[in-house]
């Protein structure tokens, strides 16, 4: 996440195509480090892509995962309620 944050800071600061050195400088300014592999992986994934399109795509993916997560919680809550009620004969779920 810190490499992504450094990349976004560089782009927001006006550097449309930050280099690995740029990202290391940003991270170093706050005492953080990142391995070269993480930086190179990010740079290879975003190379030639528009940042606003990447953010929009990420929002869509995050929203779909959020719905899946909520569904999982709902199923777990229903199962917990069923187990709880099983301990009290004669009670039914609301």
Single pTM value for the model: 0.64
How much is the mean pLDDT over the chain? 81
Catalogue all structural domains in the chain, each as residue range(s) with its CATH number.
1-49 (1.10.10.1410), 50-94 (no CATH)
84 burial type by CB count under 10 A (0-12 exposed, 13-18 middle, 19+ buried): exposed
pLDDT digit string, tens, across residues 17-61: 999 999 999 999 999 998 999 999 999 999 999 988 988 888 877
For 50-91, give the DSSP string: -HHHHHHHHHHHHHHHHHHHHHHHHHHHHHHHHHHHHTSTT-
Cα R_g (the chain), whole angstroms: 22
């Amino acid at each position: 996440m810190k490499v992504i944050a450094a990349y976004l800071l560089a782009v927001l600061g006006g550097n449309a195509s930050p280099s690995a050195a740029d990202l290391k400088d940003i991270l170093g300014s706050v005492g953080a480090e990142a391995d070269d592999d993480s930086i190179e992986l990010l740079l290879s994934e975003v190379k030639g892509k528009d940042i606003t399109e990447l953010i929009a795509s990420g929002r869509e993916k995050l929203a779909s995962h959020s719905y899946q997560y909520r569904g999982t919680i709902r199923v777990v809550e229903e199962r917990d309620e069923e187990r709880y009620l099983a301990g009290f004969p004669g009670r039914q779920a609301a």
